[in-house]
């Protein structure tokens, strides 16, 4: 009998290789499409895991390009029919399938209004690539598991390369990509922590800044793969009330934040493995999320759930 989540596990393990093979191409494509161009702001349009990649990009862009970023609310256009008057903007649509109708509508409207448009997707010829002036194809190969893993991580790397192509003074990420050895570390840490998380209620995923996207993606993976309710918070927002629930019986999955005060409250602290010190801070989410992916996989297996085929969820989700 096949092990539950075998596709998801293999796709997590494939990530270091795919990043090595594709990452330089992302930069070359972005440089050719965007090099020398300037924009007053960046608009990011995405849903689901891709929305967490956009959240990561927001920190990256605002810190290193000093340009304001807006995370698009596609319903403003698709449901309410309102065309926003943006300044000179680069609109970036992110969708692993390239089939998200509302994200495509945002790119179409922005391009028609004369703004720059870029699609980031794993699917050549998809609607997103047809609507955008330029596209970066992730080249992550077919993702069989419903749970997005390698398409999420490649999206992060593609966004790093886009920000570099737009002029950010950031080091080449290809020198500090996650490794096969790191995947092994994360898998063992996830196996050790899975029982604690499975037995806890409530469960939180906590981080801040660049890593907030990692907390959000971890929470989503636990919900969709293991059917375990989990809420992500910025550690700063967590202080404004939600931490009252972090007592005995709860679990807090923490990425690169102080845990002493949390532990004293009684919550079961699950501290993600420490990323090697030589990895620049902006690139650490590429490493840390692998633990979140493995944690969702291992908790799902404890619950006898199949993350390759989670209930009520399809690989391609279309919202309007």
Range of the domain at 97: 6-175
Q: Is residue 314 part of a domain?
A: no
Q: Is residue 294 part of a domain?
A: yes
Q: Is residue 309 part of a domain?
A: no
Q: State how many domains the chain has.
A: 2
- For 316, other C-beta atoms within 10 Å of its C-beta total 13
Q: Is residue 133 part of a domain?
A: yes
For a pLDDT cut of 90, what percent of the chain falls above it? 82
**Looking at 167-176, 204-213, 300-309, which range is the least confident one?**
300-309
Q: Is residue 317 part of a domain?
A: no
pLDDT of res. 293: 98
For a pLDDT cut of 70, what percent of the chain falls above it? 96
* pLDDT interval class at 258 (50, 70, 90): confident
Whether 157 and 10 map to the same domain: the answer is yes
Q: What is the 3-state secondary structure (H, E, C) of the chain?
A: CCCCCHHHHHHHHHHHHHHHHHHHHHHHHHHHHHCCCCCCEEEEEECCHHHHHHHHHHHHHHHHCCCCEEECCCHHHHCCCCCCCCCCEEEEEECCCCCCHHHHHHHHHHHHCCCEEEEEECCCCCHHHHHCCEEEECCCCCCCCCCCCHHHHHHHHHHHHHHHHCCCCCCCHHHHCCCHHHHHHHHHHHHHHHHHHHHCCCEEEEECHHHHHHHHHHHHHHHHHHCCCCEEEEHHHHCCCHHHHCCCCCEEEECCCCCHHHHHHCCEEEECCCCCCCCCHHHHHHHHHHHHHHHHHHHHHHCCCCCCCCCCCCCCCCCC
* pTM (2 d.p.): 0.95
Whether 151 and 196 map to the same domain: the answer is no
Higher pLDDT, 314 or 204: 204
Task: Return d(Cα 109, Cα 84) in angstroms, integer.
Answer: 10
Whether 73 and 211 map to the same domain: the answer is no
Whether 34 and 68 map to the same domain: the answer is yes
Q: Domain end: 175, 209, 238, which one?
A: 175
Higher pLDDT, 309 or 286: 286
pLDDT of res. 2: 65
Q: Compute the mean pLDDT over every residue in the chain, rounded to the nearest whole number.
A: 93
| Mean local confidence (pLDDT), 18-41 | 96
Whether 226 and 165 map to the same domain: the answer is no
Whether 150 and 54 map to the same domain: the answer is yes
> For 174-223, how does the pLDDT look when each residue is reduced to its tens digit (9 = 90+)?
999 999 999 999 999 999 999 999 999 999 999 999 999 999 999 999 99
Tell whether the model's pLDDT for residue 310 goes beyond 90. no
* pLDDT interval class at 249 (50, 70, 90): very high
Q: Is residue 320 part of a domain?
A: no
Q: Is residue 307 part of a domain?
A: no
pLDDT of res. 317: 54
Tell whether the model's pLDDT for residue 1 goes beyond 80. no
Higher pLDDT, 191 or 36: 191
Q: Domain end: 119, 140, 175, which one?
A: 175
> For 72-117, how does the pLDDT look when each residue is reduced to its tens digit (9 = 90+)?
887 888 888 888 899 999 999 999 888 788 899 999 999 999 999 9
Kindly report the CATH number assigned to the domain that includes residue 139: 3.40.50.10490
Task: Return d(Cα 163, Cα 167) in angstroms, integer.
Answer: 7
Tell me the backbone φ, ψ of residue 273, rounded to 5 degrees: -55, 145
pLDDT of res. 36: 87
Whether 38 and 103 map to the same domain: the answer is yes
Q: Domain end: 141, 157, 175, which one?
A: 175
pLDDT of res. 73: 83
Tell whether the model's pLDDT for residue 124 goes beyond 60. yes
Q: For residue 110, give both structure tokens.
A: 């922005």
| Pick from 122, 95, 96: nearest CA to 107 | 95
Whether 38 and 131 map to the same domain: the answer is yes
Angle at 100 between CA 94 and CA 101, to 5 degrees: 125
Whether 251 and 147 map to the same domain: the answer is no
pLDDT of res. 25: 98
Whether 202 and 288 map to the same domain: the answer is yes
Note whether 6 and 226 are within 8 A (CB).
Answer: no
């Amino acid at each position: 009998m096949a092990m539950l989540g075998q596709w998801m596990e293999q796709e997590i393990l494939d990530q270091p290789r795919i990043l090595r093979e594709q990452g330089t191409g992302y930069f070359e494509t972005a440089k050719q499409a965007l090099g020398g161009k300037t924009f007053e702001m960046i608009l990011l349009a995405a849903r689901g895991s891709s929305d967490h990649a956009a959240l990561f990009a927001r920190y990256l862009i605002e810190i290193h390009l000093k340009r304001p970023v807006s995370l698009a609310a596609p319903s403003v256009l698709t449901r309410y029919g309102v065309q926003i008057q943006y300044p000179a903007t680069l609109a970036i649509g992110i969708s692993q399938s390239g089939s998200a109708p509302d994200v495509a509508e945002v790119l179409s409207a922005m391009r028609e209004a004369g703004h720059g448009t870029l699609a980031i997707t794993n699917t050549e010829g998809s609607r997103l690539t047809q609507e955008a002036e330029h596209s970066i194809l992730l080249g992550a190969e077919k993702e069989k598991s419903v749970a997005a893993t390698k398409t999420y991580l490649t999206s992060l790397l593609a966004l790093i390369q886009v920000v570099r192509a737009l002029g950010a003074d950031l080091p080449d990420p290809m020198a500090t990509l996650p490794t096969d050895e790191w995947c092994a570390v994360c898998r063992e840490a996830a196996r050790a922590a899975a029982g604690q998380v499975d037995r806890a209620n409530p469960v939180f995923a906590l981080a801040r800044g660049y890593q907030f996207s990692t907390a959000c993606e971890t929470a989503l993976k636990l919900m969709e793969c293991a059917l375990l309710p989990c809420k992500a918070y910025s550690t700063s927002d967590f202080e404004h009330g939600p931490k009252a629930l972090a007592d005995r019986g709860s679990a807090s999955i923490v990425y690169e934040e102080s845990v002493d005060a949390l532990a004293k409250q009684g919550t079961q602290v699950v501290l993600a493995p420490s990323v090697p010190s030589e990895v620049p801070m902006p690139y650490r989410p590429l490493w840390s999320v692998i633990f979140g992916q493995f944690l969702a996989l291992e908790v799902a297996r404890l619950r006898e759930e199949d993350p390759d085929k989670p209930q009520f969820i399809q690989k391609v989700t279309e919202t309007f």
